[in-house]
């Protein structure tokens, strides 16, 4: 129910406050938080005090505000990605040990791919994927692998609204990428996010044959071994999928 002069609800304003923290920023001055959330300072102060009372936010030194540990606790305790991460980590670790390069686990969120786990180490190639970070579907091999496994209606709706802000990709180009990934059973993108890297990903299906995630690697362009990487990723995807859900 709306209960403010602007017509937004308390839930709307709470979400705006929580979303106001940009990636990589752990705390914000109250005034900046209010500006980023689009709220009057008095409203932001009241909401922050209430959320801090529930330990969802914390009032840090210097008048700053930061996300509370209880928010992290609740999300990690009840998140549907928890089972996925638990199932995937042993397989990701195996691939990581062999390749000594980046291994990613991702799920689909609208027109973006959301990375829920990543393994990397010093000496790995650059990897723009970050845990809890997003990328547009069409620039990530994980995104293409995920979208290629969705029902045709979902794909068509995505392509109908597709727009690349850079103007480099068209809906027809993305349609071809999805068709190729569907036919091959894996997606590959070279030099899209970083000119020196190659992304390869395969979809993960649950026991009901629904594509629910993707596991992928980011490797140097000069070290691509498709004939070795794809079978390893497929084996991992099958192992992860066997642990996800039960048949209806």
User: pLDDT of 55-101, one tens digit each?
Assistant: 999 988 888 999 988 888 887 776 778 889 999 999 999 998 887 78
Number of H helices, E strands in the chain: 9, 9
Domain ranges within the chain, ordered by starting residue = 10-71, 79-242
Domain 79-242 coded CATH 3.30.450.40: yes
Highest mean pLDDT among 43-47, 155-159, 204-208, 240-244: 155-159
User: pLDDT of 184-194, one tens digit each?
Assistant: 999 999 878 77
- Token digits for 42? 């008095």
In 3D, which of 24, 44, 67 has the Cα closest to residue 59? Answer: 67
Bridge partners, residue 65, by sequence: 28, 59
In 3D, which of 229, 66, 85 has the Cα closest to residue 145? Answer: 229
Q: 31 by DSSP, 3-state: which? A: helix
Which H helix or E strand runs over 108?
Answer: strand 102-109
Same fold yes or no, 10-71 and 79-242: no
Q: Which fold has domain 10-71?
A: Arc Repressor Mutant, subunit A (1.10.10)
Instruction: Average the pLDDT over 40-62 and give the result.
Output: 91
The answer to whether residues 213 and 84 touch, using CB atoms and an 8 Å cutoff, is yes
Bridge partners, residue 135, by sequence: 113
Residue 124's pLDDT is what? 62
């Amino acid at each position: 129910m709306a209960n403010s002069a602007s017509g937004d609800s308390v839930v709307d304003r709470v979400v705006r406050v929580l979303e106001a923290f940009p990636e990589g920023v752990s705390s914000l001055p109250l005034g900046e938080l209010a500006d980023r959330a689009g709220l009057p300072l008095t409203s932001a102060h009241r909401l922050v005090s209430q959320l801090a009372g529930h330990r969802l936010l914390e009032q840090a030194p210097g008048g700053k505000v930061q996300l509370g540990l209880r928010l992290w606790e609740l999300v990690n305790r009840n998140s549907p990605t928890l089972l996925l991460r638990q199932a995937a980590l042993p397989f990701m670790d195996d691939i990581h040990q062999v390749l000594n390069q980046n291994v990613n686990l991702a799920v689909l969120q609208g027109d973006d791919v959301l990375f829920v786990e990543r393994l990397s180490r010093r000496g790995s190639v650059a990897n723009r994927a970050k845990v809890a970070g997003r990328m547009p579907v069409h620039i990530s091999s994980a995104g293409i692998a995920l979208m290629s496994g969705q029902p045709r209606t979902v794909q068509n709706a995505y392509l109908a609204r597709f727009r690349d802000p850079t103007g480099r990709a068209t809906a027809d180009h993305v349609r071809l990428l999805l068709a190729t990934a569907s036919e091959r059973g894996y997606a590959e993108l070279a030099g899209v996010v970083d000119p020196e890297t190659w992304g390869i990903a395969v979809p993960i299906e649950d026991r009901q044959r629904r594509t629910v995630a993707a596991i992928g690697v980011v490797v140097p362009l000069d070290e691509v071994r498709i004939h070795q990487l794809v079978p390893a990723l497929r084996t991992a995807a099958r192992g992860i999928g066997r642990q996800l859900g039960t048949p209806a």
